[in-house]
């Protein structure tokens, strides 16, 4: 792990810290206050804010975790949040930051996931991303990171338009999930989604496949959040006009349909150095690769 940091520092310097300006202008996203835009999903007594209300904390103990959701649904856009993950011994703990079309995880839901898988002290965190279409997932990728996500806040973002879904970490594209421009069963595009986050116990699978169990003597486990931004098409029944435009919003314009050369260089570096699982390369699990893997 000691070799990663110099490589990433060189990477970010040479690439101008991920020249995302053509894909995500910093001044186009609107920041959201918690009270005005979110609801607690469960266990309100496990939710706290800083005195100024700008930092939000979710707590997990042996009794329960906690979660929140946006009140507004979106269909396409740019969605971003700064998170600081549970420090110390967090084996078995999952912090989830995701978009979903349903409030109750319905069996036919669409979903875009960041899941941060806890660790034993001193071991690196793992980020798992996944994409669901009509209730079908199984499209996991797992990455390690070039920093310790428990020491400070880092930005995790999703770009979603009709052409692709991109998962970003500190504006580094770590995963690009493409559409084929045809009716298909793998690209979620028809359903508006809420944004969620939650912390919960998953020691049956999250750390080393469930071998490492949650140490409840270390509870409560706390994940921290701030600076939620959304620049997207707010859903309005029966069908908002902004869903179909490719001219009014940067996230649906031509420049947002593909990575720039510098972004592609960084994305390729991530692929060579930080990917630890890719379902599209798991031929034992998928002897016939899913259609989207061939794009």
- Residue 147 to residue 124: CA distance in whole angstroms: 9
Going by pLDDT thresholds of 50, 70 and 90, the confidence category of residue 244 is confident
Residues with catalytic annotation?
Answer: 111, 115
pTM above 0.85, yes or no: yes
Please write the tens of the pLDDT for every residue from 164-201.
Answer: 999 999 999 999 999 999 999 999 999 999 999 999 99
Q: Quick check: 90 pLDDT over 80?
A: yes
Which pLDDT score is estimated for 239?
A: 85
Question: DSSP 3-state assignment of 119?
Answer: coil
User: For the chain, which domains are there?
Assistant: 35-294 (2.60.120.200)
First to last CA, the chain: 32
The predicted model gives 106-132 an average pLDDT of 94
Please write the tens of the pLDDT for every residue from 17-54.
Answer: 333 334 454 444 455 567 778 999 999 999 999 998 88
CB burial of 210-245 (b: ≥16 within 10 Å; e: otherwise) equals: eebebbeeeebbbbbbbebbbbbbebeeeeeebbee
């Amino acid at each position: 792990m000691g070799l990663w940091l110099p490589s990433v520092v060189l990477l970010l310097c040479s690439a101008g810290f991920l020249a995302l300006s053509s894909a995500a202008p910093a001044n186009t996203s609107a920041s959201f206050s918690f009270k005005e835009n979110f609801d607690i999903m469960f266990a309100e007594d496990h939710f706290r804010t800083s005195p100024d209300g700008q930092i939000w904390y979710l707590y997990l103990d042996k009794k329960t975790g906690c979660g929140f959701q946006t009140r507004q649904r979106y269909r396409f856009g740019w969605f971003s949040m700064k998170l600081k993950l549970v420090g110390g011994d967090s084996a078995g703990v999952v912090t989830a930051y995701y978009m979903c079309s349903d409030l109750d995880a319905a069996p036919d839901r669409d979903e875009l996931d960041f899941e941060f898988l806890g660790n034993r002290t001193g071991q690196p965190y793992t980020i798992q991303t996944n994409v669901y279409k009509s209730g079908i997932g199984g499209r996991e990728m797992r990455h390690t990171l070039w920093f310790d996500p428990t020491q400070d806040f880092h930005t995790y973002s999703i770009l979603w338009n009709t052409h692709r879904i991109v998962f970003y970490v500190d504006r580094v594209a770590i995963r690009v999930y493409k559409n084929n421009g045809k009716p298909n069963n793998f690209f979620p595009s028809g359903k508006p989604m809420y944004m969620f986050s939650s912390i919960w116990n998953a020691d049956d699978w999250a750390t080393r496949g469930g071998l490492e169990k949650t140490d409840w003597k270390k509870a409560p486990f706390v994940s921290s959040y701030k600076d939620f931004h959304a620049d997207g098409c707010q859903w309005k029944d029966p069908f908002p006009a902004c869903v179909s435009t490719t001219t009014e919003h940067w996230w649906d314009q031509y420049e947002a349909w593909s990575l720039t050369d510098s972004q592609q260089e960084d994305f390729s570096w991530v692929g060579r150095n930080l990917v630890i699982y890719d379902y599209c390369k798991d031929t034992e699990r998928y002897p016939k690769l899913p259609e989207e893997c061939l794009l």
